[in-house]
Chain A
Amino acid sequence: MLGIALLLHCAYSAYEYNKLPISYNRSDLLLELVISLCLIFYSSVTNIQMPSRLNLDNEIVHSPSPYLNFIHINKSLKESNEFGIDDYSKFSNRLDFIDIVKMRREYNVYASSIEKST
């Protein structure tokens, strides 16, 4: 935002300068432009940064490369394997074939064992 504001300020300054009948030194404009371009570059790079993630065990996982993904398959899949979820987990999850009755039964056994222990 600051970068864009500075850029717009530069544009307005240039517009006002151009109204003047005399020629002028543009070094201040140039400096402001360089600063605004740097700020815009910084913000665009910050925008593509990937946030930290929680894995399935609720531990925070920081990616070794926070901006881009590794393209070599062994490094890329190593990261997703450590996270616990990846493009291939659909083959082991198979949500459409979920055995809901069995899962409910297993949960009941677990819940009653918890109740007994407390």
Chain B
Amino acid sequence: MSDKEIIFYGPSVEKNRTKLQYVHHVMCLSLGVAAGVLSLESFMGFVFYAAGMTATNLGFVAVCCHGKPRQFFRFPLQEVFWDGIQSNIAGYIMMWCLVYALVK
């Protein structure tokens, strides 16, 4: 196949995105619980979230993509790293606040 024409298979793109979202959802909620348990506050909470999600994404790329995310995602940096962090922040904050209030 020529380099100019790369055809992506829609159903596979969709399935991979759904699986990535599942891992992101589970991990953002767990990280929220962890942040609450550690009683993190303000800026530290967000740093913890960014670090936790980045570690999760690195693990995902290493285990699920065998280190080759381009074979499974069209824009790996955006889809795996950036979208994962910014779209799940609400869930993280919810769990963080809830567990923080319960523990304190």
Direct contact of A and B (CB under 8 A): yes
What is A's interface to B at a CB cutoff of 8 Å? 3, 7, 10-11, 14-15, 18, 26, 29-30, 33, 36-37, 40-41, 44-45, 47-48, 65, 67-77, 87
Is A18 in contact with B8, judged by CB distance below 8 angstroms? no
Is B19 in contact with A14, judged by CB distance below 8 angstroms? no
Main secondary structure of the interface of B (DSSP, over half): helix
Q: How many A-B residue pairs have CB under 8 A?
A: 105
Which of B1, B15, B31 has the most A CB atoms < 10 Å from its CB? B15
Interface size class of chain B, counting residues whose CB lies under 8 Å from the partner chain: 35 or more
Is B19 in contact with A77, judged by CB distance below 8 angstroms? no
Give A24 Cβ to nearest chain B Cβ, in Å.
Answer: 12
Is B52 in contact with A14, judged by CB distance below 8 angstroms? no
- Does B56 sit within 8 A of A, measured CB to CB? yes
